[in-house]
């Protein structure tokens, strides 16, 4: 960990307000440019989800970083797919991603129902940790952007302890104003980070990444939702049995019912409808790669 980062860990938090999503990256490449990066995928609610194991996903991202240029990935759950179905901009951001994996078990189940089942779920939080581990081994530098100051600092401290060789280029909380976004991009660019992890919630993080990844100079950016809060211990993850049986959402709903009831109860029903619509319209296996 660099001296500058250590100094920043000690610096106190400033109160900041969230900023609105930014306009999309004009030069974003089309989905078809990236199909080579995926051995196969399953289209769920119009979004191609990569049929990769966690190991394979790490490998694909490794290759993207080695290839140079700027790339980004996203993970999707039922709520995000429903949101993308209703929001063209979000859909575009997902279609422009280099890699999308299934964060939620419901996405895996839907892929199976549609006749082209994904081999496994590759969650944002697991992929994130695997990529940090790989970065430590491959001497690639990482930047953490998002969440509250204490949360992102907790993640930096955790990984610095776990992987002494990890090159942590820097970090920044996820609560900054519109007027600050350029300086945040500049901070990341000057840090020289190759991998950028963004934990600002959805769809904000997806929009932010698509709009700014090129400005940050990072080779690969991934939106990791509430991962910083979970890993720093500020939020509890569901017990393993709930994660494995696709009930993680229920755990989150129980913890934050006011904020999440709409997302899960209405979102899950809407997702079931979307999947059945695709099945009825035959938008299943014949669209798969
Ligand atoms: N967050 C942020 N900036 C914002 C809004 C949220 O950095 O303007 C952070 C928040 O502190 C939390 C994460 O984004 O750490 C959102 O987590 P959540 O589990 O809600 O992610 P989602 O399920 O929406 O992907």
For the stretch 3-38, pLDDT in tens is 454 344 333 223 222 222 322 332 333 333 444 444
pLDDT band per the 50, 70, 90 thresholds, residue 255: confident
pLDDT (0 to 100) of residue 265: 80
Atom of ligand 1 minimally distant from the CA of 18: 8
Could you report the per-residue pLDDT of 59-114, keeping only the tens digit for each?
Answer: 999 999 999 999 999 999 999 999 999 999 999 999 999 999 999 999 999 999 99
Mean pLDDT over 245-274 rounds to: 86
d(CA 74, CA 206): 7
Give residue for tokens 């229920």.
250
pLDDT of residue 85: 95
Share of the chain above pLDDT 90, in %: 67
Contact status, residue 252 vs residue 238, Cβ threshold 8 Å: yes
Cβ pair 21, 209 in contact under 8 A: no
Nearest-CA neighbor of 132 among 106, 165, 108, 110? 165
What's the 203 CA to ligand 1 centre distance in angstroms?
Answer: 9
Asked whether 268 and 78 are in contact (CB, 8 A), the reply is: yes
Stretch 159-186: mean pLDDT, rounded?
96
Whether pLDDT at 195 is above 90: yes
278 CB near ligand 1 (under 6 Å): no
Residue 204 CA, ligand 1 centroid: distance in Å = 8
What are the contacts of 107-111 at 24+ separation with CB within 8 A?
Answer: 107/44, 107/49, 107/76, 107/77, 107/78, 107/81, 109/246, 110/44, 110/45, 110/78, 110/271, 110/275, 111/42, 111/44, 111/49, 111/51
The residue assigned the tokens 């999707």 is 76
Give the structural domain span for 207: 3-287
**Mean predicted lDDT score pLDDT of the chain:** 85
Ligand 1 atom nearest to CA at 252: 19
pLDDT in tens, 198-208: 999 999 999 99
pLDDT at 287: 47
Q: How far is the CA of 227 from the centre of ligand 1 (A)?
A: 9
Average pLDDT of the segment spanning 131-151: 98
| Closest ligand 1 atom to Cα of 174 | 7
- pTM summary value: 0.84
Cα dihedral 270, 54, 260, 252 sign:
positive
Q: What is the pLDDT of residue 251?
A: 87
Q: Which atom of ligand 1 is nearest to the CA of 146?
A: 7
Find, among 100, 52, 51, the residue nearest to 209 by Cα.
100
Yes or no: say if 38 and 288 are a contact pair by the CB < 8 Å rule. no
175 C-alpha to center of ligand 1: Å?
A: 10
Number of domains in the chain: 1
Q: Give me the pLDDT at residue 49, please.
A: 97
In degrees and rounded to multiples of 5, residue 260 shows phi and psi of -110, -5
Which pair of structure tokens corresponds to residue 57? 């996903």
Give the pLDDT of residue 118.
97
For ligand 1, atom 10, which residue shows the shortest CA distance?
A: 147
Q: Write the pLDDT tens digit of every residue in 259-270.
A: 888 878 888 889
| Among 145, 175, 199, 233, residue to substitute to test ligand 1 (most atoms within 8 Å of Cβ) | 199
């Amino acid at each position: 960990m660099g001296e500058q980062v250590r100094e920043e860990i000690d610096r106190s938090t400033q109160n900041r307000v969230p900023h609105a999503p930014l306009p999309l990256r004009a030069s974003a490449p089309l989905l078809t440019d990236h199909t080579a990066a995926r051995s196969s995928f399953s289209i769920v609610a119009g979004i191609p989800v990569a049929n990769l194991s966690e190991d394979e996903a790490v490998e694909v991202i490794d290759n993207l970083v080695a290839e140079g240029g700027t790339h980004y990935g996203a993970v999707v759950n039922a709520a995000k797919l429903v949101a993308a179905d209703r929001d063209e901009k979000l859909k575009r951001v997902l279609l422009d991603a280099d890699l999308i994996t299934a964060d939620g078990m419901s996405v895996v189940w839907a892929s199976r129902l549609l006749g082209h089942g994904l081999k496994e779920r590759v969650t944002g939080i697991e992929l994130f940790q695997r990529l940090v581990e790989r970065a430590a081994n491959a001497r690639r530098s990482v930047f953490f952007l998002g969440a509250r100051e204490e949360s992102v600092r907790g993640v930096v401290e955790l990984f610095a302890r776990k992987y002494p060789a990890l090159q942590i280029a820097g970090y920044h909380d996820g609560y900054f104003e519109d007027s600050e976004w350029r300086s945040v991009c500049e901070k990341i660019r000057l840090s020289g980070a190759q991998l950028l992890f963004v934990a600002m919630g959805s769809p904000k993080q997806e929009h932010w990444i698509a709009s700014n990844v090129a400005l940050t100079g990072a080779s690969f950016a991934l939106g990791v939702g509430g991962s910083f809060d979970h890993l720093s211990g500020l939020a509890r993850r569901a017990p393993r049995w709930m994660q494995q049986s696709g009930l993680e959402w229920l755990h989150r709903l129980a913890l934050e019912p006011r904020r999440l009831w709409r997302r899960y109860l209405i979102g899950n029903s809407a997702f079931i409808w979307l999947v059945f619509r695709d099945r009825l319209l035959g938008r299943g296996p014949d669209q798969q790669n």
